[in-house]
Amino acid sequence: MNTYKNFTVRTDADGIALVTWDMPGKSMNVFTEEVMDELNAIVDATVADTAVKGVVITSGKSTFSGGADLSMIKSMFTLYQQEKAANPQTAAQKLFDLVGRMTGLFRKLETCGKPWVSAINGTCMGGALEMSLACHGRVASNAKSVKIALPEVKVGIFPGAGGTQRVARLADAQSALQMMTTGQSLSASRAKAMNLVHQVVEPDQLIPAAKQMIKDGLKPVAPWDEKGFKAPGGGIWTPASAQLWPAAPAILRRETAGNYPGALAILKCVYEGLQVPFDTALKIEQRYFTQVLQTTEAFSMIRSLFISMQELGKGARRPAGVPKTDLKKVGVVGAGFMGASIAYVTAAAGIDVILIDRDMDAANKGKATGEGLVKESIGKGRLTQEEGVAILSRITPSADYADLKDANLVIEAVFEDREVKKDVIEAVEEVLSEGAIFASNTSTLPITGLAKNSKRPENFIGIHFFSPVEKMMLTEVILGKETGDNTLAVALDYVAAIKKTPIVVNDTRGFFVNRCVLRYMAESYDMLIEGVPPAMIENAAKMAGMPVGPLALNDEVAIDLSLKILKATVADLGEKAIDPRHMELVSRMVEKEGRFGRKNSKGFYDYPAKPAKKSLWPELKSFYPQKKAEGVDVNTLKQRFLVTIALEAARTVEEGIVTDPREADVGSILGFGFAPYTGGALSYIDGMGAKKFVELCETLAASYGLHFKPTSLLNDMAAKDETFYGRFDPYAKEKEVA
């Protein structure tokens, strides 16, 4: 038996070496420089050992591997930036060599002359799947936990260690493109249907089945290394391909508006790679991967959607030195749709929940919402019947506040009204144990003001969920002026337990996400008033990279809620705080036309009975004189949407609401889908440079209003050529320690 730090190698009596990947101190196996060095040594050792007839590689953990490690991805960008500054001529070549390392290792494994089988026992993604595809055989467990994917496109890159070439030579081109350009996860059976996996077996049969493949005489040669190999479907020059390839870029453009260089590179890699020998194809892939890694989009997306998201999820903002809270029981007050959904995600995380409302009927109705969510998840195969029953058994409906006495945390999710919330805070605090935390799920009311109703403002915090709670990955944790470190730590421990990503923001009206969302919708009001055709407004927003147009989003949020917010803003801040034309438009929609949004099936869109699709309300065009479409510059519309949101994000930093640029970026993408290819609202500014952004703001302000004027912080950053990640460095403390 040979032992490495990250692998164990045991050779059995049949001469089959079982390589078990089990990294010490990590919950999941990932590729690091050290792992690649050891794997390289294992390939050499097993080739040299005449007793070894074949190799099975598997994981000693509950999952196989998530792919490349954060630190490795980070170091790639750091090395490139340093090299570019020192030797711009050789920087791209150095990066090319660096990205070829994994490709070369997997090709070495594939051509080593001894058969390798990958035994996949759980999540197998990214580089780990690319390694498995280089093995000569693949066996997967039929456990529900098995997810097979190449998700790189979601973080701005693409499968660059042979993935584009091997998938396109195992599956038909259309399925290969679909899998890689969406980053979708496959079940073991779907992977088998696509020819990416040879066998699917019961979990306890995984290693025996993998060894059996070798005993049965598995050839140590990949299909594409055999003479006369033809790709499934016949390759590029066939009638079927003549239909696929002209359409593929058009479909991709429809889905991505050309915003994602990584997605387009997948098409190029597959199209060009299938026309040349395999080793040449790997070089083509390596060239495109090097090119994509140098784009602003790849840098920004990897930073926000891969690195920052994991750092925030692992508690980057959690106060140091506070012991972890093991939440045993959580109370939720308010069993409406929001409260019931919060109770559901809490119970799904294995925590007991007391769901309180004014009477048992209302509380039971809240539990019924949970039952509906369980039923839906069982129907989609996400939960088993037993798991669903277990979740519901953890939710106890009640009308008695005394049932909250032993809860570690109570979340209030009642009507958005200061008086109603005041009554709840007082009633809960009557029974709450001494160290317990009170959290408000308010979406707009400042936490410091609500905490004035509390006898223990240091134990009072905001945890703002987004609807639908079970699908939205983000939560905003809002600090009141007196919120203590222990309270923040408990709130972040809770958010981690329910597997959501937190951003921590200081107190303000609308916090971070809603302030930005309201700007997005307000810009669409301006465009309507200017006479921009509604369809152009929606399409320009999507072309800018937003997942839904602002009018569709407003319908989801509810137009009558927009009216309430406008009225509340006037009541609190005076008439000048809003644009009177916006009030006129929204009042007309709600009070005159009775159009509240999706909830009453009529808003900016009409919502006919299914299966018919929603469509823009034709009468909307009669509200204002319409401009001719050809007279409207789509590029300017796109800029207006992104700039108005990014400006609001910059204001929250200037006001000290957001103190960590990672949170503004991750919050803007997860909260309302701000163009992910930019890396988020602040990365959008950093990506183009503060100077250029300020010039763009000045241009837009001259034509479309003073809300586009750059702030003093941005002017200062432009003058000093600073970035948000430079000026507000989230790693500054770590660097001081180092």
CA distances from 121 to 139, 232, 578 (A): 9, 27, 57
Strand order in the sheet with 148-149: 124-125, 148-149, 185-186
Q: Which among 530, 488, 520 is positioned nearest to 626, based on CA atoms?
A: 530
| Sole residue written with tokens 């004014």 | 358
Q: Is the peptide bond before 220 cis (omega within 30 degrees of 0)?
A: no
CB 333 within 8 A of CB 356: yes
In degrees, rounded to 5, the angle at the alpha carbon of residue 40 between the alpha carbons of residues 35 and 42 is 95
The β-bridge partners of 16 are 54
Tokens of residue 619, six digits: 């009468």
With 0-12 / 13-18 / 19 or more C-beta atoms within 10 angstroms meaning exposed / middle / buried, residue 326 is: exposed
Distance CA 716, CA 720 (A): 6
Distance CA 338, CA 323 (A): 30
The β-bridge partners of 397 are 355
Q: Which among 16, 590, 673, 714 is positioned nearest to 305, based on CA atoms?
A: 673
Q: Is the peptide bond before 232 cis (omega within 30 degrees of 0)?
A: no
CB 447 within 8 A of CB 461: yes
Q: What helix, strand, coil percent values describe the chain, rounded to 5? A: 55, 10, 30
Q: Is the peptide bond before 24 cis (omega within 30 degrees of 0)?
A: no
Distance CA 503, CA 666 (A): 8
Instruction: Indicate the DSSP class of residue 614.
Output: P
Distance CA 8, CA 19 (A): 6
With 0-12 / 13-18 / 19 or more C-beta atoms within 10 angstroms meaning exposed / middle / buried, residue 386 is: exposed
Phi, psi of 639 (to 5 degrees): -60, -40
Instruction: Indicate the DSSP class of residue 324.
Output: P
In SS3 terms, 328-391 reads as: CEEEEECCCHHHHHHHHHHHHCCCEEEEECCCHHHHHHHHHHHHHHHHHHHHCCCCCHHHHHHH
Which of 136, 198, 464, 582 is labelled catalytic?
464
Listed in sequence order, the residues at least 6 apart from 247 whose beta carbon sits closer than 8 Å to its beta carbon are none
Q: Which among 707, 706, 708, 717 is positioned nearest to 682, based on CA atoms?
A: 717
The answer to whether residue 464 is catalytic is yes
Tokens of residue 38, six digits: 């050891």
CB 486 within 8 A of CB 518: no
Distance CA 72, CA 357 (A): 50
Quote the distance between the C-alpha of residue 584 and its chain's center.
Answer: 37
Listed in sequence order, the residues at least 6 apart from 10 whose beta carbon sits closer than 8 Å to its beta carbon are 1, 17, 18, 20
CB 53 within 8 A of CB 119: no
State the amino acid at position 330 in one-letter form. Answer: V
Residues annotated as catalytic are 464
